[in-house]
Amino acid sequence: MKLLLTLPQNSPWYYISAETRLCIVSWLSVCPILYLTRAVVEWGDDVKAVSEDEAMVLVNHQATGDVCTLMMCLQDKGTVVRQMMWLMDHIFKYTNFGIVSLIHGDFFIRQGKAHRDQQLVLLQEHLEKYYRSRNRKWIVLFPEGGFLRKRRETSQAFAKKNNLPFLKHVTLPRLGATQVILKTLVAPQENGTPAGGDAVIKESKSKGLQWVIDTTIAYPKGEPIDIQTWILGYRQPTVTHVHYRIFPIKDVPAEPEALTHWLYQRFIEKEDLLTHFYETGAFPPLQGQTKAVSRAMTLSNLWLVGIQSLAFLSGGMWYCILQYFYHCLF
């Protein structure tokens, strides 16, 4: 990963190619036990159908394990995993995969009113500088702006004050980052209003964002998995469920008030989905279906062994290099 820092980062194809492949290996080596003891079942729309188009992924946020779950889910979705950008809390910058995400070009956002306006400006600058120059296609964000357990009480108080639905399994989303992404990455006239990133889109000949993928993560008994559990594996193996719903970008309003209402509706629907899941153990069927269909997400064991072997070899190489320099110095 350190060698990537010596390569020009904005345009050469060799940097983008090397960086995406190394990031995949590094992400997978973060949580090796994830693939051996956990399973994921997918519901709703099949996102493979839009894996080659640009999309914004909206996800509910319960714990740090949500990131690991999504990393696993997207491994079999074509080139998506190496052509996506993440919006994560700045605290992730200081984790073991923080340097990987930093080099990959992900954006670390600081929470709180004191930083909000400045962070939105920085986000727009970051998107304009890196999103198209690095050939990104999907962008993942958690609109709630924090973990469920931390934001639920504040969100419920806000909902009561403003006569909004009382939510238990999700919190009301924040508009800021979603609005900046739509303004910067949506092509002109796709949702009725010219995009702020028009010049960037024209230069790259991109169609802009085509879809919004509303993603709902559900854990059995409503007990989310944090990253410590993923790594140490001290809980019994469990199945995580992920529900997708795809919306054309033209159906997403651009005006702040209408967009706020649209976002609220998505999370009200998430509340209904999660309520149904916790009561029945399954998500409800899509509109027009009589029975919900689930799909077990699987990965090739041979591929996983190869990836983990490469990670161990890389670790051994660095150990030998550091040991050599240690003996030279001392």
Which residue carries 């998506």 as its tokens?
A: 80
Decide if pLDDT at 3 tops 50.
Answer: no
Decide if pLDDT at 89 tops 90.
Answer: no
8 Å CB contact between 157 and 163:
no
**Higher pLDDT pick, 193 / 46:** 46
- pLDDT for res 139: 94
Cα torsion through 303, 59, 9, 185, rounded to 10: 130
Query: Mind listing the pLDDT tens digit for each residue in 303-324?
Result: 778 777 877 887 888 889 989 9
Instruction: Select from 273, 267, 274 the least CA-distant residue to 151.
Output: 267
Tokens of 286: 């899509």
Tokens of 218: 């559900």
Listed in sequence order, the residues at least 6 apart from 111 whose beta carbon sits closer than 8 Å to its beta carbon are: 89, 90, 145, 146
How much of the chain, in percent, has pLDDT values that exceed 70? 82
Query: Mind listing the pLDDT tens digit for each residue in 291-302?
Result: 888 988 877 778
Listed in sequence order, the residues at least 6 apart from 78 whose beta carbon sits closer than 8 Å to its beta carbon are: 48, 51, 52
Residue type, 21: R
Query: Mind listing the pLDDT tens digit for each residue in 248-284?
Result: 999 999 899 999 999 999 999 999 999 999 999 999 9
- pLDDT for res 96: 65
State the chain's mean pLDDT as an integer.
81
Residue 187 DSSP label:
P
Q: For residues 15 and 53, what is the distance between their CA atoms, to the nearest angstrom? A: 22
Q: Which secondary-structure segment (H or E) carries 218?
A: strand 211-218
8 Å CB contact between 107 and 9:
no
**Higher pLDDT pick, 197 / 109:** 109
Listed in sequence order, the residues at least 6 apart from 227 whose beta carbon sits closer than 8 Å to its beta carbon are: 31, 63, 64, 65, 67, 68, 95
8 Å CB contact between 144 and 131:
no
Split at pLDDT 50, 70, 90, the class of 109 is confident
Query: Mind listing the pLDDT tens digit for each residue in 168-192?
Result: 999 999 999 999 999 999 977 645 5
Q: At 9, phi and psi to the nearest 5?
A: -105, -10
pTM of the predicted model, to two decimals?
0.81
